[in-house]
Amino acid sequence: MSQQQEQPSRPQEPVTYGDVFEVTGELADKPIAPEDANMMQAAETRVFGHTQKSGAAAVMQFAATANKRGGFVHPGDTTDLAAERGVTVAQTEVPGARVTTEFVGGQVVGQYVEPRPVATAEATEAEAIGLKLQSAITIGEALEATVQTAGNKPVNQSDAAAIQAAEVRASGTNVIAPGGIAASAQSAAIHNANVDRDEDKIKLIDVLAGATGKLSADKAATRQDAEGVVSAELRNNPNLSTHPGGVAASVTAAARLNEKAEI
């Protein structure tokens, strides 16, 4: 065997954002650059005090290292979208939890849900007299939380299916209300399928803002509700996956928190 044959082959293609994260548009085709990873590490450290094990920063660092070895990027390189739109970590308080979402170029690349105990005067008083404070997270509230975690995501068919499943479970009927969030989501998905540019597409925030008030009825999110919404989102996604911070993820997080609180 010749020395040339013994040399390890270099990667033929760079590791892109679309290879390791569920992102769309121009960002999906961009190779992950070293400075992108450094910015995410700095953002995670500011919020958590350290980088997350197997989190977005760790994944990006691994990919950037592979891309450097392959000669696709160089030390100090930054993806233009990351430089223009930022690499950030944002935290949102929802009933019973803190949701931390990581963004690159305005798109979600990671999410963490931290359960938080209810620490109000009412809760303390209820505990003192032996009553159970009813503070379950409803399906409508979970849908509204999606606005914070994935509001800028263009609505597609898997989102519309998940929203329809959520509305059906919240209302207790299979009838889709004209002008409701399920009908609006379906119209948005059809519209977006015929639009090329993401900036011209209808986003989840346009459909789900104020979702609680748009539902004909609402209920506490349960594991069964979450399973139904997850199944609907998966069945209508060609990649058979759910979107990080999306509809299914939010309803699942709500159901999990409700179950832990035994509500």
Q: Residue 226: what residue type?
A: A
Residue 115, SS3 per DSSP: strand
From CA 206, how far away is CA 143, in angstroms rounded? 12
Average pLDDT of the chain, as a whole number: 84
pLDDT (mean) for 219-235: 93
Which of 260, 249, 181 minimizes the C-alpha distance to 218?
181
**164 Cβ contact list (under 8 Å, min separation 6):** 176, 182, 185, 186, 232
pLDDT tens-digit map of 171-218 = 888 878 788 999 999 999 999 999 999 889 999 999 999 898 899 899
Quote the CA–CA distance of 76 and 63 in Å, as a whole number. 15
Would you say 84 and 90 are in contact if contact means Cβ atoms under 8 Å apart?
Answer: no
pTM: predicted TM-score of the whole model, two decimal places: 0.55
Asked whether the beta carbons of 138 and 170 are under 8 A apart, the reply is yes
Instruction: Locate the domains of the chain by residue range.
Output: 17-115, 135-262
Reported as a single tens digit per residue, the pLDDT across 64-115 is 998 998 899 999 999 999 998 899 988 877 666 778 888 998 888 888 777 7
